[in-house]
Amino acid sequence: MGLAIFDLDETLLAGDSDYLWGNFLVEEGIVDGELYQRENDRFFQQYKEGTLNIKEWLRFQLKPLAELEPTRLFALRTRYLAERIDPIILPAARALIEHHRQQNHTPLIITATNAFITRPIAERLGIPNLLASEPEFVNGRYTGEVSGIPSFREGKVIRLRAWLEEQNIGLTESWFYSDSHNDLPLLELVTHPVAVNPDPVLTSTAKAREWQIINLR
């Protein structure tokens, strides 16, 4: 049985779910618009440059989850998913996932974006297996902290290895689809690394190593 691993943002989606969540909060007046937008843009640029401090980013990303009352928070997420995420789920991505299912490959999404945002997206894609950065949830509320190892860069490899051991699954026949050079540690681990609409650094690496490059847009 094979394993088909997918990055989420800019891979299965035509956009970044965390960045769009931040914009949504700004437009809804939930956070200080000017300050939040500036920081959101700064972290997004660091991510693209490969200089992101994951713990600093997650503290910023998870703060609104801790500040909002859960009922309102979940209602906002429902609207956000319908308005911002459903329109950017790529039909070609759905077809790719289905192709792997027909080959009896186990699908898995692994993403640095927190599970509050990404779990319902994975459900929309029909993928039950998700490794995302986990926001801490205590006594019915989010704390604003992350629980465990964030699934970013080498953290994705650590989280995947732990999951593989739990599931008793190997990487003998495995695919990983990603758009970002931040995912090189995991791309180098699988038997079939695939660059999806890759950024310039990943494009160069994929060409040099003769990895498959595809376009899902």
For the annotated catalytic residues, the residue numbers are 7, 9
In the chain the first and final C-alpha atoms are separated, in Å, by 28
Provide the 8-state DSSP code for 182: G
In the chain, beta strands by DSSP E? 3-6, 106-114, 130-138, 141-147, 174-178, 192-196, 212-214
Q: What angle do CA 91, 167, 133 make, to 5 degrees?
A: 60
13 forms beta bridges with 89
